[in-house]
Each structure stands twice: as structure tokens, then as C-alpha cells.
Structure 1
Amino acid sequence: MQNFSDDTHVQNEDDLALQTYFKTGISPDDVSAVFPLRRGQPVLQAFTALFHGGFNGVLLRLLVLRELTADVDSPSLSRADINTKLGYLEPEALETVLARLRSTGLLNWDASQSVYRIAPTARNVLSAIESLLQVEENNDQAEMSYMLTQVAGAQAVGGVSVEQLHHLLGRLIELTEEFSDAIASGSEFQLRAAQQKWHTACDWVEKGSQIIHAITHDERADAATHKAAQAIGRAQSALLNMQGMFSRALNQIERQRVHLGQSGLSTTDIKTWLLQKDDLAALADEALAQPVTPLFITPSEMIDVAESELLSHRVSAIAGALPVGENAISVANDDSDALHELDHWLNLLHKTDAKEKPVALQDILLPANFAIASYRASMLPLLGDANESALQGATGTLARLPLIFNSKDKMQKLHDPHIAAMSIANLSFVERSETASESTSTLAPNRETP
């Protein structure tokens, strides 16, 4: 009865101490987020027992506990076994650690058999720590493996929580923002590092897609769990769609890269070489034979020099003779294959009878190889174009045809040696006063033919 009263007194003191951190009139029991933390007090106290104090003390306690739990042949350990296993430690230090583990309930002393037994809480805490150490050892740049492992394990035993899903969702959103900042920076080095980290994150996303799919189709999960899993799916899609953004940013940097003459060296190569140097100032040692001597001039001298330069340029421009005229380079008539193909296609369109029934797109573009069919498809938006119809030439004739192009956002497969699929579309008859659609068609080449 005395022990129970002491525990109650300590509990009341803890409640009063916690109350001091909250505003007046607000009790810790009124905050819903406090309850799960209080419920997990035994586990949190186990972590406190291990990690309270300096790093060396924490390391020693973890070392002793890991060594004791490593012996799985026997569920109990005598003091002689412990002394033998940890013989490399000072007896006083070992006794201090054992006393702390006993007082915090991580290590139980069985007086009837004079042996020590590892508490289940200690094994759970060590298991969590081992998972974190394993993640650090594997160098997971995306830092997603631990959270995904926890979600996968909880899903396997049917106990995944909304908080675990929120942690994973938060990490996905953080990675997306981090990659967006790297793309917006315009720095090639940041882009390369972010792209490598993105590849690591995508590997974990592919592994976690099946887990998220299982959660969304689990009838036992509540609405909050389903909502969190769907949000993770959307975040994963946003993360995977960043590949195009990385490619465009790197291509833009590649176009802007400056090369030094014919040496083959670029500014990126020089920056990479400079980043490898520990002391950039040392590169200038003995590089200059004499110190730089600055020269100063007054504004009046600057005006005199500028005026003389301006007048000399004007005199040379007036005195100079006009250049000798040259004959303009004659340009041959453009008899390209494209124009011949357009004339041939116009003859086919003139013969098309679309008044009774719309003509399918494949009947207009085919038979032809992929290049010719693509060229014909690119001309279809000109049908009914008011600006183009006012011009002369083959394209103007095409624009004035009484045809309209109708397209759907769907594809259909074709039995053609060159075209594997094509948009579902047709050409129909229309009065010249109407305007044709601005839609475009899509072709997919047949990869099976050379």
C-alpha cells in the first residue's frame, strides 16, 4: 500500500510539472495529442533510460544491452555469463550500467534463480534502433527506407496507423519541394545531386506502390487511413513526374554551357576542378611576377579620350568609300519532295467524297510510310484557316477545301506495316464559311518494322 501511495504521489507531481508548460486554463488532458504519448510512457521511458546523459554513456548502455540480447540460446543470463561476455569493460562501469538497466525495467533480475532476463520492451527498443542504424549503413539518400519499412511491417500484421502514413507522406512532400528548389536554382551541380537522390526515391516509391495499393483496398482500414494512403499515391505520382523537369533543366544548362576555344574544356569542367581544391587562394601563389599597379585618371581626361575616339570614328565613316556591289545569289525553285507530296495529297483530297459520310482519318493519311503520314497529319490544322486561305500556293488551296477535321482524344490500333496506332478522327464536308477545328492528330510508329 505504501508503494502504491508513493507511485500516486510521483504521478501527481509529474502532472503538476507538465501543467506548467501549458497556458492557464488549459489542461494537458484536454489536448488529444498528449494522450497517445502518455499511453506510450513505458516505451518512452525505456528510450529515456538509454539516451539520457552524454554520448559516451549512451554508447556504453547500448553496447551492454546489445551484447546481452545477442545471446539467443538461453533466455536468461547469470552474472558470470555477463562478466565473461563483457570482460573488456571495467567492473565498476559494467555494474553501473547493469544497475541503471535494472532500475528502468529494461533488465529484470530473477532472484529465485539468480539470473538476468531481457525485458520485451528492451528488445522492441533495440529493434527500432537497429532498423535506424541499418538505414544509415545502407546510405539511403532519400531517407525513406525506414518509414516505408515501418509501414510495410505494420500493414503485414494489420496494424498500420494514420501517423505512420503521415510521416511517409510528409517525407514525399519534402522531397518534391527539395527537387523543385534544385530545378529552380539553375545550378548543374545541384541538379545532378538532386537527380541522383530522385532516382533513389523512385526506387523506394516503386517498392511502396504495392503496399499503398494494399492499404487502399483493405476493407478493415478506416476512412482516415484510406485518405492518407490516397494522398501518398498522389505524392508518389508528383514525384515520378519530375523526370521531365530534370531533363529540360539539364538540357537548358547544356545549351548554355560555354566551351573554352577548341580545348574541349567547359566552364563546368573548370568549376568541378576548382571544387576539388581545398585552398583556392594557393592557386595564385607565384602566379604574378609583379604586383598589379593601379592607374588612376581624372574625369576630364576620360572626357577628352572619349571625344577624340568619337570624332575619329565619324571621320573614318565619312571618308570611307561605299562597298562594291555584288550580284545577289540566285535561288533555284523549291522543288522539294514535300511540295510534290503536298500536291499529290491535294489531288487525293479533291477526290474525297465527304458529303455523304465522314471519311476516316486512316483512309486519308494511308497508305504511306510514317514520315509521309506524319507530314500529312501536320497539314490537317490548316483546313479552314482564315489567314492561310487568303494566301496563294498549295497550303492556301488546302485551307480553302470544304472539309473540317474532327478528332477525339483516343487512339486506335491499325494493321499497317508502318503505323501502329492513330487518333480516332475523320474529315467531313462543311460550308466554306465555317471554321475548322484546331485539333491535331497523333501517330504512333510501328516498332516491329524497320
Structure 2
Amino acid sequence: MRGGRSWAAVVAVAVLLGGCSESSNDEGDGTGKPDGPGPWPTDAVKDWSAAYGLGAGVRSVGVDEAHNVWLLRGDEIGVLRPGDSAPTWTRGVGQAAGGFGRDKKALGSTVICGGEAGRAYVGYHTYELQREVPDKPHAYVPAPGEPHHTQARFDEYQKGDLDVVRLGGDGQVELEEHLWRSVGVSGGKQQLGIRNTNDFHYDEDRSVLTCQRVMRGRDRGDVYIGTNHGVTLIRGLTYNSHRHAAWYANGDSLQAGFNWGLGIGPDGEVLVANDWMVGILQPNGVLEDFDRERTWDGPVPWTYKGHNAQLNSLEAFDYWRAIARTRQGVTWVGSRDFGLWRMDVKDRSSANYTRVTTLPSDNVTALAATDGGEVYVGTEDAGLWRIEDDGQTLSAVSEVKGEHVLQLVYDPTVAPAMLYVLTDAGLTVLREE
């Protein structure tokens, strides 16, 4: 997304940061060029809420392989298909069928992510489990026939988690299934939702906070979700849960953090940012290997896992909410309370963090890195901003309405590439070479 200044406001300031190293893969990830412009308008800036009558209250947006655009609004799922003048809405699908509440399947919906053509993944959140079994962690759920088993506790497996939905021929959305097939020992035949892949007794991933679909490369089509405990990989209808950038308090108490920040790097690396730590995972394409934690070794190693020592001690929350990485190898992370930071990795466990003091907000909600080298920065109270491909110049994107940026979705599978910008004022799509 390079070229003219039609997206940026006249306000531009220099971000006083160091230089960046060049990537060894200047031509991209070897997947070839995008397949043309796709089925949507190629306007450099287009207000989709106005053009397609999206209405108010959309909280999440996703796009599937067929370029159907999925919208999430409370207990409603909308689909805008190429050629449609407005989305078709369906209410009460899956976890939302009985309404929301503590005694329901979920407290509310959170995020939607496109999958293969005509499929999407819908996330929900619920409360954290309390300890009920002596000498077991809070998320431990006894199976039928085991000590301390109760049906009420066992039913907790059904709450929160992720629905897989399908687009019907009439534009309506139907539940395909509530995700339950684990690649590991939790596979079984009980359709109970997401459980820990390595031990079915644990219901640690209960709330889905964010999602990312791999748009290209070897792992194209894989979906990652960030949860209240870590990051889970989904391939079709099967999951492997989970990995987390975690640390131990007092030597034995695992501190995982809510995983709000999630991204896919230019070479397919998985970018992780939770309340405490930042991490970069290098997947190997084998679903069964994803949860095999050996830190720096093993089939899916951390190429970086650490915390921002320039900001806080490890014990203090950094409140990371977003993460993105450029083709030049620069990683950007955004905090709810401490603004935008550039992260230059030194080794596998340490990095130099530099705060961008010129961003007029301490609350970063979303980040997206483009193939052109720019990084888009969504804030909670100051709208959308852009870091140019020089890694230094910051400018406000005044063409996008709204102060609160809810989500950024970058689709490089078309040319010009598309950046979906969802704010409190609606959905805007940016396209530019």
C-alpha cells in the first residue's frame, strides 16, 4: 500500500527511532502475486457502512477465501457477499441461540474470522472457572466416574469457545458445529468444545479474544485464536490447544495472561502478545506439533519470548493488545495503557523496545503491517494512524471516521490489497498500490 498521500492527513511527525535491517526475503514469501483485484470496488477509500447499509453496532469483521465479508453484532451474524447491496443478517446461531448470560452458553460474542469459502469462526467469552477440586488447578474438570465429578462442572466445557458457521444458499448463516475435535488426547467423541489438547481434564481456553487467518504461504487457511490462556491453532474443524508466552511466579505458578495481541508475520511466524509478554513462534506446518512446548527447541520453537524491561518489571502488566511485524523485520506492539512500541529483537529472550511518543494516545487497539512496509495503528481515542515504510514518519489517516478503532484486517490476496478498518463510526476499506 504505497504511493500517494490520499489516505494520510497533513499532520506528520518524525518518530525518533533507529534504523531497521533488511529482510532476507525481499520478494515476499514465495506464494506468487495476488489474483487480481477481486470482486470488490477498488476505490482508494470507501465507506462500506454507508455504501452497503451495514448499520450500527458491528463489533468485528472477517473475510473468507471467497471474499465474503462476515460481520458480528452481538447475537447477530451478517454476511455481505460479492454483488450484494446489503448484508444478510442471522440472529441466534450456535452459542448465541439461547441468549447471553452467566447461565447461558456465553456472556457475549467477541470476534469473527473468515475461513475457507463460505465458512467463518465465531468467538465467545465467558467467566473464568474457580477452583472446585482439591489440589487441582482452577480449570480442572473431572470426567464422569472420576472423584469430584459433577454434571454442573462438566457442563462448563460447553461455555464460551468457538462456533464454526456456514453460509447457506439463501444468505442465512447456519451452525456447522461448535468446535470440539482436538488433534491430541482430547479428541474423543464427546462434543464438548475446546479442551487442553495434552490433557482433556483442563478447560483453560474458555474465552476467545481475537483471531487471525493465515492468508498465504504454506499454512494458508489455518486460523489462530488468542484466548484467556494462550494461542490455539485451528485447521478446518480440528484444533491444537495451546501455546502461551508465560512465566512462573515463585518458581511454580504459571502466569499466562490474556492473549489479546495476535498476528501473522511476513514469513508465517505467529506473533503473540499478552498482558505480560511478547513472543514469536515459528510453526512447522504440522498441526500435531503446535502445542509441544520446548521453548527454544522442538518442532515449533519460540524465536523470541520476553518482556519489555524498559517499561516494567516482569511481574507488572504491560497490557499488550496488538502486534504486527514488517518485511524489514521490525515488530510493533501496542499497549492498552502504555501506547505504541517498536521492538527490535536482540536474541531469543531480549529486545530493545522504543516508545513512539508522538502518537497522541496511550491506548493502542489494533495493528496491521502491509506488504508496502507501512504499519497501521488503531487507537481507542484518537482514530487511525500510519507509520510510513521508512519506519519513522507517523501520520493520521483522516479519511477514516471514528475515534475508536475496533479492528484492522489486512487482505493481501487481492491487488490492490485491502485493509478493513472497523471503528465506532463504521467500516471503511482502504485500497492502494
Q: Which has the higher strand share?
A: 2
TM-score under structure 1 normalisation? 0.19
More helix per residue: 1 or 2? 1
Q: TM-score, normalised by structure 2?
A: 0.20
Choose 1 or 2 for highest CA Rg: 1
User: RCO higher in 1 or 2 (8 Å CA, sep ≥ 6)?
Assistant: 2
